[in-house]
Amino acid sequence: MASARVEMPRRDRAREGDSYRPGRRSPVAPPTEEQKQAAAKQEYQRLLNVRSGGTYMPPAKLRALQAQITDKTSKEYQRMAWEALKKSINGLINKVNTANIKHIVPELFGENLVRGRGLFCRSVMKAQAASLPFTPVYAAMAAVVNTKLPQVGELLVKRLIVQFRKAFKRNDKAVCLSATSFLAHLVNQQVLHEMLAGQILLLLLHKPTDDSVEIAVGFFREVGQYIEEMQPAISVAVFDQFRNILHEAGIDKRTQYMIEVLFQVRKDKFRDNPAVKEELDLVEEEDQITHQVSLDGDFDVQDGLNIFKFDPEYEDNEEAYKKLRAEILGEASDEDGEEDDEDGDDESDEDEDEETKAMEIKDQSNADLVNLRRTIYLTIQSAASADEVVHKLMKINLPAGQEAELTSMIVECCSQEKTYLKFFGLIGERFAKINRLWCDLFEQAFAKYYGTIHRYENNKLRNIAMFFGHMLAEDAIGWHCLTVIHLNEEETTSSSRIFIKILLQSIVEELGMTKLKARMTLDEELRPSVAGLFPGDNARNMRFAINYFTSIGMGALTEELRERLQKMPKPTLPALAARGDDGDDDDDDDSVSSYSSYSGSSYSSRSRSRSGGPAPRAISRGREAVAIGFALVVGRAKERQEEIVVVAVLALALALSLSLSLSLSLRHASAGAARRRLVRLAFTPSPSPRRQQESFAVAAPR
């Protein structure tokens, strides 16, 4: 079977090239700029239609097409600018909060709010309805915008009023709550007049229902403080209506409780519901523009501003807003701004560096201090010896100015123990001998704890005193810190006297009384430091110190003080000086003996009579005791030549004895007179019977 033959075309040698190949294509001319713009617009329009149908469009491809469209007079370019404006306004509103509102508002003015005022109002209302707790923030932002662009604030107010009216007619409680909350804060920010608040409350309470009363209560909680201040008549009328509803209307228990809570909030003067928080008070009162609108007015909410419209004068309007923005933000022209940016880059960087250096974070919660004290405490409690504690504590990085916390924690840990542990004294001694810094800090701690020792209970007081006693005995701290102690009755308390006692006793236990006495009395350098312990200013303080040291078993320390007290000149009385020294003892003995004999004789005379008054034996013994005490005091005053106080005691005793003697004499005299009267009656002859009969006869007719 013969195979079919296929004839191949042959080359034509006479021609140039192969006869079966096509000829070369002519070069295509590049598209013009107009053609590029037209193609880009056509593709952009197609992509918009595709996106509206739900097809995903890569953002990179969309941005590339937008970059190709540069004709500002075209509809496509203005649509792209509109979309960018909508995204920018919506993004800024969504991220505003109390902390960054001062930075967001200038950025918001950077966008064309005149063209996008409908977008601004729609985004703000939508964001506020979605997050009611941020309503004060959105109201503050709207108040700032209203000061520069009043038409934006007016449009927002109108849309909110219309939204409230529609929701009220539809009984949409959620929308009514969000709208009234926003309107309340706009009233607080003085964007809206307070008369509108009164109209809203009147509408809600005219025919009260559970929902309308709840909305009214929430509305008045937000705006109440401002109404109380600006229009108290409205507040009085509203609360009268609330009171009537509470007593007469058949509303739910929950609503009644809400009204009662509102009355309590008013009583507390809206403490938890301020009109404007301090951080959101951004507008001066004289700069604010207040809109007076009525609740039942006819408003044009300009819904057409929410959608894109082609602007034939787009460039002129954009240029006009640039000038307005420069006026609002205080900017210069673009050229001047660019020059300033180029020239002032270095200065701005330097300012930022200075601000960064100047900014310091202050921890008001003292968390770092608490952590530091916890670390020190755990280190002390976990160590086995004092040297180990010191070694570990020295490795702690103490913040500058917090070194005193270490010494304070050592003393506090010592005071927390049930009994004093020398372990803590050794820790303090090691630190004080390592560096002069720690020695000074422990000396300051001694003065601090002595000044506040009355705040500690006895166990802590004892531990602290023994700790510092060890530090003084080991010369870890200087004895000049004892200058804070002034041992007298006025400048010491019971706690401080106990502290001094335990402090000195602990020093005696380690040094001994001999060394302590030598150091306190013989060391001339130490005398100024212990001058407060041994006062020499007056005799009273000297006696107090002598008695104190004697009572705690350290009277040996006061020998020099006793000598100084004896050598001090004593004040003399003129009466005592006039009496002279001769015959004083004899006179005193005679007076004492005569007083004793007088008291003895009177006692014997009263003892023989049973009618001389109550308890004569006790009275006579009291007189004898007064006489003996008087004699002893006189003798002691003679021997030691006491001061004016002793003389006053003598005078008091003498007056007491004289008054007692006088009273006893009067009682004795009255008793004697009564006794004599009884004797006369006993020995007087009785009348004769005849006289008695006569007297009876005379008395009979009566």
**Rounded Cα gap, residues 202 and 461, in angstroms:** 69
Torsion angle defined by CA atoms of residues 294, 295, 298 and 303, in that order, rounded to the nearest 10 degrees: 110
pLDDT in tens, 196-233: 999 999 999 999 999 999 999 999 999 999 999 999 99
What is the pLDDT, as a whole number, of residue 213? Answer: 94
Once rounded to an integer, what is the mean pLDDT over residues 577-591?
43
Q: What mean pLDDT, rounded, does the chain reach?
A: 77
Per-residue pLDDT tens over the stretch 219-276: 999 999 999 999 999 999 999 999 999 888 678 899 999 999 999 999 999 998 999 9
Residue range 677-701: average pLDDT?
A: 41
Decide if pLDDT at 699 tops 90: no
Output 383 or 279, whichever has higher pLDDT: 279
Q: What percent of the chain has a predicted confidence (pLDDT) above 90?
A: 39
Dist. CA 700–CA 72, nearest whole Å: 151
Residue 695 vs residue 26, higher pLDDT: 26
pLDDT tens for each residue of 423-450:
999 999 999 988 888 999 999 999 999 9
Which pair of structure tokens corresponds to residue 284? 């001066």
* Closest of 535, 479, 473, 478 to residue 506, by C-alpha: 473
Instruction: Return residue ranges of the chain for CATH 1.25.40.180.
Output: 78-303
**DSSP assignment letter at 21:** S
**Greater model confidence, 412 or 698:** 412
Phi-psi region of 266 (alpha: psi -120 to 50; beta: other; left: phi over 0): alpha
The model carries a pTM of 0.46
390 Cβ contact partners less than 8 Å away, ≥ 6 residues apart? 427, 430, 431, 434
**pLDDT greater than 90 at residue 16:** no
Nearest-Å Rg of the Cα atoms of the chain is: 53
pLDDT tens column, 121-166: 999 999 999 999 999 999 999 999 999 999 999 999 999 999 999 9
Phi (first) and psi of residue 291, to 5 degrees: -100, 125
Phi, psi dihedral angles at 151 (to 5 degrees):
-65, -30
- For the stretch 314-338, pLDDT in tens is 889 999 999 999 998 875 444 444 4
Type and span of the H or E element at 72? none
pLDDT tens digits for range 334-366: 444 444 444 555 555 555 555 544 445 555 556
* Residue 178 pLDDT class (50, 70, 90 cuts): very high
**Could you report the per-residue pLDDT of 520-530, keeping only the tens digit for each?**
877 788 888 88
Q: How confident is the model at residue 79 (pLDDT cuts 50, 70, 90)?
A: confident
Class of domain 367-567 (CATH, top level) = mainly alpha
List the structure tokens of 642.
């006491």
DSSP per residue over 588-631, as a string? Answer: HHHHHHHHHHHHHHHHHHHHH-S-S-S-HHHHHHHHHHHHHHHH
Confidence of residue 663 (pLDDT cuts 50, 70, 90): low
Write the CA distances from 329 to 105, 143, 287, 323, integer angstroms: 10, 16, 15, 10
d(CA 170, CA 192): 25
pLDDT band at residue 612 under the 50/70/90 scheme: very low
Lowest mean pLDDT among 50-64, 536-550, 601-615: 601-615
Specify the fold of 78-303: 1.25.40
Amino acid occupying residue 212: S
Give dist(CA 661, CA 682) in Å, integer: 31
pLDDT at 620: 52
pLDDT band of residue 179 (cuts 50, 70, 90) is: very high
Structure tokens at 54: 């739900």
CA distance 507 to 700: 103
Residue 25 DSSP symbol: P
Residues 457-485 have a mean pLDDT of 91
Q: What is the pLDDT of residue 627?
A: 53
Has residue 22 got a pLDDT over 70?
A: no
Tokens found for residue 678:
């009884």
Q: Which of left, alpha, beta for 366 (phi over 0: left; psi -120 to 50: alpha)?
A: left
The answer on pLDDT for 650 being more than 80 is no
DSSP string, 251-295: --HHHHHHHHHHHHHHHTTSTTS-SS-GGG--S-GGG---B---T
Partnered with residue 291 across adjacent β-strands are 192
* Inter-axis angle of helices 173-188 and 150-170, nearest 10: 150
Alpha helices in 149-279 (DSSP H): 150-170, 173-188, 194-206, 210-230, 232-248, 253-267
